Amino acid sequence: MRVAYVFNVQHEAAEAEAEFDTQETVDYVAGLLDELGHDVVLVDAGVPLPAFVERLASSAPDLVFNTAEGRTGTFREALYPSLYEELGLPYTGSGPWTCAVTLDKGLTKVLAAAAGVATPPSLLVQASSDLDRLAIEPPLIVKPNFEGSSMGIRAGSVAVTADDTRRVAEAAVERFPDGVLVEQFVPGRDVSVAFLEPYGALAAVEYVFADHAAFYHYELKNERPDDVEVRVRASLADEQEAGLAAAAATVFDACSVRDFARADFRVADDGTLWFLEVNALPALLEGAGIYAAAAEKGLTPAETVGAIVDSALRRHPTEVAT
């Protein structure tokens, strides 16, 4: 089958491109698709849109394997699935509505809370005056509302006083004018749950930090990955594990995710589970948590990617699908 693999490639190790795939990741995923027997056409989304559309259409794919994040705007992840639908091309991953909603951390938390999933209280701040309405006691964490890959989240993003909160939030809004989320900080551990159709929520993954950091921030994720251990299964009691799987499944359903995704949680020191966010385009680099979790189901990385492809084909059947 002819597969157009669409991605944004990272040209420099800078925060602005933190969500993009490195060339090593592009080569790795392309190799997995090739291992599955597909004819892979590489399509870099980081070119002017007319050239991108021409390149994609001329490749005449039977399926688009999408990891493109987009560069600008709060609807950037939704752009590519919207284009595929307009062009009549089957594609992997969630649709434009889901990509738009899950890029908005605050809105995703609203959906989760409405579905009965506990999430730390928060306030969307788009101007300094919004902080006058803040009624959440420190410690608080300040994070960009429309970014992933821990962009804009540093060790100093946790504020322990009201004055710290205003200082950190005002600086963050200046950098991310679309808005930042000021959220109750939960002391505890970072865990995530990957979604893979048709397996549903996979085993929970826990992130353990060599320097005993309080949370998974930008430096650990992007500059010091060797200081992060991806542990499967997460260290949870049976009741916690079942509760986490149920909460993740509820959030995935509320956000209408398809094929693959990831939900991030905090396990508080008292054992309480708190939902943080959904990533509709989780990382597929070598060693990513989704592969480790899928291995619990007996799947190799190639079979994990194959499950994503097969799920998309069930939704968008093609004449060449086998």
What CATH code is assigned to 2-93?
Answer: 3.40.50.20
- CATH topology for the 122-184 domain: Dna Ligase; domain 1 (3.30.1490)
Provide the 10 A C-beta neighbour count for residue 179.
19
Using CA atoms, how far apart are residues 26 and 10, in angstroms rounded to an integer? Answer: 10
| 121: confidence class by pLDDT, cuts 50, 70, 90 | very high
Residue 97 has what pLDDT?
Answer: 98
User: 300-320: buried (b, 16+ CB within 10 Å) or exposed (e) per residue?
Assistant: ebebbbbbbbbbbbeebeeee
Q: Which of 97-106, 224-233, 265-274 has the lowest mean pLDDT?
A: 224-233
Q: Are 62 and 91 in contact (CB under 8 A)?
A: no
Taking alpha carbons only, the member of 311, 316, 306 closest to residue 37 is: 306
Q: In what order do the strands lie in the sheet with 2-7?
A: 39-44, 2-7, 63-66
Parts of the chain belonging to CATH 3.30.1490: 122-184
Parts of the chain belonging to CATH 3.40.50.20: 2-93
**pLDDT digit string, tens, across residues 161-217:** 999 999 999 999 999 999 999 999 999 999 999 999 989 999 999 998 887 788 888
Parts of the chain belonging to CATH 3.30.470.20: 102-117+187-307
| 15: confidence class by pLDDT, cuts 50, 70, 90 | confident
Evaluate if residue 322 carries a pLDDT over 50. Answer: no
CATH code 3.30.470.20 for 102-117+187-307 = yes
| 319: confidence class by pLDDT, cuts 50, 70, 90 | low
Evaluate if residue 321 carries a pLDDT over 50. Answer: no
In the chain, the percentage of residues whose pLDDT exceeds 70 is 98
